Amino acid sequence: MNQVLGLYDYWVVVTLMMVGFYIVIANRNLVKKMIGLSIFQASVLLLYVAAGKVRGGTAPIVPPGADGEVTYSHPLPSVLMLTAIVVGVATMSVALALIVRIKEAYGTIEEDEVLARCEGVE
């Protein structure tokens, strides 16, 4: 029971990860593939943030007038994820730009149709 409830945040991470991964593999529409990839990447953001969270912890800023110990969450994973978000946005924009070009060149964004047209004469 503890495995399920105590680690519920990681279960969320794993579920999202698998949902995203499945969409990437199973869907033939290029935009939907990118949505899946986004969910997949977002699950990793949650993995890091969940790992940095300390129960009852606050932001890592010493409140004015505080003396003694203050429990705060680990800030580093969140900071790392800021970088990962930037990387994700960059990947997304490159991919969407590519999809626009694919639509221009082939007239469709369904993977099967694009690949079928690839077989034809260049």
- Please give the torsion angle defined by the CA atoms of residues 54, 55, 58 and 60, in that order, rounded to the nearest 10 degrees: -10
Is 84 among the residues that bind another protein (CB under 8 A)?
Answer: yes
Beta bridge partners of 72: 58
The nearest distance, CB 37 to another protein, in angstroms, is 6
Identity of the amino acid at 108: T
The piece of 1-9, 54-62, 63-71, 98-106 that touches another protein (CB under 8 A) is 98-106
Is 60 among the residues that bind another protein (CB under 8 A)?
Answer: no
The piece of 1-9, 55-63, 65-73, 96-104 that touches another protein (CB under 8 A) is 96-104
The piece of 1-9, 53-61, 65-73, 83-91 that touches another protein (CB under 8 A) is 83-91
Interacting residues of 76 by C-beta distance below 8 A, sequence separation 6+ = 52
Backbone dihedral angles phi then psi of residue 120, each to the nearest 5 degrees:
-70, -170
- Which sign, positive or negative, has the C-alpha torsion 79, 13, 41, 96? negative
Whole-angstrom Cα distance, residue 41 to residue 46?
Answer: 9
Catalog residues that contact another protein under the rule CB under 8 A. Answer: 17, 21, 24, 30, 33, 37, 40-41, 44, 47-48, 51, 77, 80, 83-84, 87, 90-91, 94-95, 98-99, 101-102, 105-106, 114-115, 118, 122
